Amino acid sequence: MTETKTFKDRVVASLKNFGLPRLIITGFLVLLLVLAPFVGADLPTQISNIINRFSWNGILVLAMVPMVHSGCGLNFGLPLGIISGLLGATLSIEFGFTGRLSFLMAILIATPFALVLGSLYGWLLNKIKGGEMMIATYVGFSSVSLMCMMWLLLPYHSPNMVWGLAGKGLRTTISLEGYYNQALAGIGQINIGNISIPTGTLLFFALLAFGIWAFLHTKTGTAMTAVGSNPVFARAAGIDVDKIRMLSVVMSTWLAAIGILVYEQGFGFIQLYMAPFYMALPAVSAILIGGASVNKATIMNVIIGTILFQGIVTMIPTVMNNMIHMDMSEVIRIIASMGMILFALTRKTEASR
């Protein structure tokens, strides 16, 4: 019955697979790119922008993959991992590391935090199978607000980070100048005209993406996919489902920690306090826009999704502004990304048990 598929059928099927919302978003981005030169926006700058923003955000989106694979759903608890990254970043500076070394140290220091917090988080998620996404959201929020107190209370002293007047308590924004600003982006940066490509960051992303891809091809990675695909099957095949889920959560958390450090080195600042709040939803919608569903995601989804999402975010303000002198980027971004998440949630997927 499957042999005589006409070309048309296949196109229709693949379009259906692609999903209408995704089609609209892709079409919209293409439209924006086509329009850009006509309304006087500089296309190379725009493309350069997209590439840069891709390089900042890619790993945060990548952090979704392990948990989606193990059936824990979309990682709305991303802020937890981000906090580990922030702890690594601030401690690395506090200990007096500078330059590229501070980046490396930040990663090293963030790792144990990510492992511990990730394990706790994984343990919790194993207790509440089926309700992961909602609880993940609020675990993220609680941890961010808890850390708000901690940023004030922890005995940080580095004058570059604490409030000048009080001499204690971290600032909301900490400049990375002299620390790891552009630590990765600066490596082998290519500048052609208006386009600048942060080769180092892209390579770093590629490295991690390759790592995840490779992991998913190992025995354990295969088990993770199976757990996400059908946990009962996996259990019947002797897999310790809880352990695999825990591993995926720890991986997601660690990736989020690295992700925020990479983001910061591109952005040039550490943002503390309520800043991590905003981080989970864009990452979630990016991977969904890239074609992932609540329980399936690939590296390709990450790359496509991040490009589409960041493309829209960077293109709308310029094109719109030049065209109708109205900056609707924020509103369109919210509607598009939230609409995408809503769409994914209402899909009939086999709910993970």
Residue 56 and residue 271 in contact, taking contact as beta carbons nearer than 8 Å = no
Sites for other proteins among residues 54-113 (CB under 8 A) = 76
CB of 112 to other proteins, least distance (A): 22
Residue found under tokens 């790119």:
33
Binding-site member from 141, 179, 254, 263 for other proteins (CB under 8 A): 141
Residue 338 as a binder of other proteins (CB under 8 A): the answer is yes
Nearer to other proteins, 44 or 130 (CB): 130
Nearer to other proteins, 145 or 158 (CB): 145
- Reference 191, options 41, 44, 43; nearest CA is 44
Sites for other proteins among residues 202-221 (CB under 8 A) = 217-221
CB of 100 to other proteins, least distance (A): 28
Residue 164 as a binder of other proteins (CB under 8 A): the answer is no
Report helix, strand or coil for 243. Answer: helix
Residue 119 as a binder of other proteins (CB under 8 A): the answer is no
Please give the DSSP secondary-structure letter assigned to residue 275: G
- Structure token pair of residue 329: 């980027």
> Cα torsion for 111, 140, 204, 194, to the nearest 10°?
-140
Query: Parallel, antiparallel, or unpaired: how do β-strands 190-192 and 195-197 relate?
Result: antiparallel
Residue 251 as a binder of other proteins (CB under 8 A): the answer is no
Query: Measured between alpha carbons, how far is 257 from 127 in angstroms, rounded to an integer?
Result: 24
Nearer to other proteins, 51 or 117 (CB): 117
Phi, psi of 16 (to 5 degrees): -60, -40
Residue 194 as a binder of other proteins (CB under 8 A): the answer is no
Query: Measured between alpha carbons, how far is 152 from 5 in angstroms, rounded to an integer?
Result: 64
Contact residues toward other proteins (CB under 8 A) are 2-3, 76, 124, 127-131, 133-135, 137-139, 141-142, 145-146, 148-149, 152-153, 169, 217-223, 225-226, 229-230, 232-233, 235-240, 274, 277-278, 281-282, 296, 326-328, 330-331, 333-335, 338-339, 341-342, 345-346, 351
